[in-house]
Structure formats: structure tokens, C-alpha cells
Amino acid sequence: MRQTTPRPRSASIVGLALLALALGCCSRCKPRSHKPARTAITVRVPGAKGPSGTLHLALRATYGERAAPIGRLPAGGLVYAYPRDRALGVDHTTSAAPLDVVLLDNQRRVLRVAVSVPPTSQRRVSVAPRLHRYAILLPGEGARKAGLVKGVQVSFTLPDRALPHRVLTPVDLHPPGRRSVRVLAEVALTEPERTMGLMWRTSLPRTGGMVFRFERSHPITFWMKNTLISLDMIFFNDNFQVTGVVHRAKPKDESAVGIGRVKSRYVLEVPAGFARRHGIARGTSVSFSLP
């Protein structure tokens, strides 16, 4: 049996005291877990008298923020800011209570007010075929109290983090022997988003687009129903290699278009002529990160 030399009692007491002090310090210095800071913006409604004409709303600007369940509305309500005009309506089914849903255009003018929409209603609130840019979600009857009616133009300022170039997804394409090009893309990850796609859009920036992700790789076909602008469709696989390109798909054409039996996982829609202008073809590598 190994013999040990006992330490003096005073040394043990000092050691325990130092240990307790260290533990106390660690407990105080330990980073606290906290929820992400919530950005609030102030929306002013012209003509409304008193505090009811000034709304303090929590902002949801990124894809992840807008996709999160609504649950119970924060004090005041919510405002969704989209990076581009869109036709797909607001999904309110994750709300804990009936909501007023107010849709606005890119000039912040009210296009539609849906009053006390119950969560059980499966129909999205939209103005399609018209487009909206913002959505304000208020407790039931909140729109009337705030003076929000069709045609009213409200005012608010978005923070830098909510501006389009901050929230759109950068998709970089690297054609062999050519300069890489970046597309600032919207994302379509759910079935309703993929079904709506770029329907009813009347324009798209030269380096703008929409990237579609599917649950698995398979031969993908698209149609151009209700799509008013000509598009190039760039297909690519799980290895982020372009598998084929559809050039200049015709607006409103309801026939299926694709690249045959070749399996793909993603499709990037861009303005017609983009692919040839930048040399995008089969074998081009793609890099991006989805939310």
C-alpha cells in the first residue's frame, strides 16, 4: 500500500477557500443563455389620432425569422419585410389567436386588410395576382383601432439588417475559364413557395433570382403558368455541379420543361439570357448556403 504524507490542516482550509472562490467566479463569469435580440420598428399611420396611430412592431426580415411560428404575438404585433415583391400570401396558421393581417406594397400603401383571421383558416392571406412587400400582423381588431384601411400609406424605416442585400441568399456560380458571378436569390424551400415561385412578377434584377431546393434528387420539371417574364433555369445536384440549363423559358407556357432524366436537387431561376451571358453550362460549380 502506498503511503501518503498528510497535508497540514491549515493548507487544506486555504485550498478549500480558494476552490470556493474559483467556483464562485466561474458561476458569475459563465455566459448567460439569452434569446436573440428582437428588432422593433415604429410604424406611423397618417390621420390616426393619439397613440393608436403609432405602432411599435417586432420585425421579421430574414427567411428564418419569417418561417418561425407566430405563436402569441409580441406586444404591439409583427411586421414581415420581404426583400422583393411577392405573390405568395402570409401563412397565419401558427398563430395562437385570430389575427388582423395587413398587406402593403413597396410604397408602404395598404393593399388589403383581413380582419380577425382564425388560425384554423388554411387559406393564405394574399392579394394575388397583385404583389405585396410587407405584412403587418396585429391582434384581432387591431387594424381598425390603428386606422389601417385600404389605400392608407404608412411610414417606417427599416434597419440596415433588413435591407434586401442583407437578407437575400448569395449564390455564386463558377463557370470554367470564366469569371464567377453572384446571384442574390430568394429561396423556395417549402411546397407552397416552390409552387408559387416567381409567378406574377413583372421584373427581376439582372443578377436576381430564386433558388428552389427539393427534398431529394430526382428529374425535375417546371412550368411557366402565371409567370410573366422569361427565365433561364439552372439545374444542379447535391454536389453543387450544374446538371443542365433551360434557356429562355416562355412566359405563361404551361408545358413541362426540364433537362430530361438527369437528377437534380436544386434549381436557380434567373432572368432570360443570364446563363449564356455568363457561360453557365453543365459542369459549372455552384456555392451557397441556405438558411
Cell 402565371 -> residue: 226
Last residue of a domain, one of 135, 162, 189: 162
**Domain check: are 155 and 187 in the same one?**
no
What's the pLDDT at 118?
Answer: 96
Per-residue pLDDT reduced to its tens digit, 120-176: 998 999 999 999 999 999 999 999 999 999 999 999 999 999 999 999 999 999 999
pLDDT digits (tens, 9 = 90+) for 82-128: 999 999 999 999 999 999 999 999 999 999 999 999 999 989 999 99
Q: Is residue 24 part of a domain?
A: no
Domain contains 103: yes
Return the percentage of the chain with pLDDT > 90, whole number. 83
- Say if residue 172 is in the same domain as residue 283: yes
Q: Are residues 55 and 79 both part of a single domain?
A: yes
- Which of 120, 137, 162 is a domain's end point? 162
Q: Residue 234: what pLDDT?
A: 98
Q: What is the mean pLDDT of the segment spanning 263-275?
A: 98
CB distance 206 to 231 below 8 Å: no
Residue 71 lies in a domain: yes
Q: Are residues 190 and 105 in the same domain?
A: no
Residue 58 lies in a domain: yes
What pLDDT, on the 0 to 100 scale, is given for residue 9?
A: 39
**Interatomic CA distance for residues 91 and 139, integer angstroms:** 15
pLDDT in tens, 17-64: 444 434 443 333 333 333 444 789 999 999 766 566 899 999 999 999
The verdict on 95 and 177 lying in the same domain is: no
Q: For the segment 189-238, what is each residue's pLDDT rounded down to a tens digit?
A: 999 999 999 999 999 999 999 999 999 999 999 999 999 999 999 999 99
Q: CATH number of the domain that 275 lies in?
A: 2.60.120.1140
3-state secondary structure the chain: CCCCCCCCHHHHHHHHHHHHHHHHHHHHHCCCCCCCCCCEEEEECCCCCHHHHEEEEEEECCHHHHHCCCECCCCCCEEEEEEEEECCCECCCCECCCEEEEEECCCCEEEEEEEEECCCCCCCECCCCCCEEEEEEEECCHHHHHCCCCCCECECCCCHHHCHHHHCEEEEEECCCCCCEEEEEEEECCHHHHHHCCCCCCCCCCCEEEEEEEEEEECCEECCCCCCCCEEEEEECCCCEEEEEEEEECCCCCCCEECCCCCEEEEEEEECCHHHHCCCCCCCEEECCCC
Q: Indicate the SS3 state at residue 191.
A: helix
Instruction: Provide φ and ψ at 275, rounded to 5°.
Output: -60, -50
Using the 3D structure, point to which of 162, 197, 227 is the last residue of a domain. Answer: 162
Is residue 153 included in any domain, yes or no?
A: yes
Mean pLDDT of 281-285: 97
130 and 224 inside one domain: no
Q: Verify that 153 and 251 share a domain, yes or no.
A: no
Number of domains in the chain: 2
Residues 263 and 153 occupy one common structural domain: no
Q: Could you tell me which residue, 15 or 198, shows the higher pLDDT?
A: 198
- Asked, for residue 23, whether it belongs to a domain, the answer is no
Whether 126 and 235 share a structural domain? no
Q: Does the residue 222 lie in any domain?
A: yes
- Kindly state whether residues 101 and 199 are assigned to the same domain: no
Same domain? 215 vs 109: no
Instruction: Find out whether 166 and 130 touch, Cβ atoms under 8 Å.
Output: no
Residues 55 and 157 in one domain: yes
Global pTM? 0.84
Q: Where in the sequence is the domain holding 280, given as residue range(s)?
A: 168-287
Residue 33, domain member (yes or no): no
